[in-house]
Amino acid sequence: MAHDNALRRLKTVEGHLRGITRMVEEDAYCIDVIRQIQAVEAALNKVSSVILEDHLNSCVITAVQGEDQSERERVLKEIKEVFEMATKV
């Protein structure tokens, strides 16, 4: 279900991005282009959120409930790294 939701959102973003490309090719007003880029960024952030939620509810829960200490540490480290990368803008 989350997979289908993410794919649908990504296809929408893809179409939106093609629209922005056309705007740039047609020399559209800069602020309008920036607003459309911001909309794509927000849509991509939502896709990330959907995928992260699915990951937390599947892979992370499985690892945390499992017996393998190194696997628990690995998935928690991955989550930490994702959040660290998100703040490096």
CATH code, domain carrying 79: 1.20.58.1000
pLDDT for res 89? 60
User: What is d(CA 10, CA 47) in angstroms, rounded to the nearest whole number?
Assistant: 7
pTM for the structure as a whole? 0.84
pLDDT for res 1? 76
> How many domains would you assign to the chain?
1
Burial class from Cβ neighbours inside 10 Å (0-12, 13-18, 19+) for residue 40 reads middle
What is the domain range of residue 78? 2-86
pLDDT for res 83? 87
The residue ranges of the chain whose pLDDT is under 50 are none
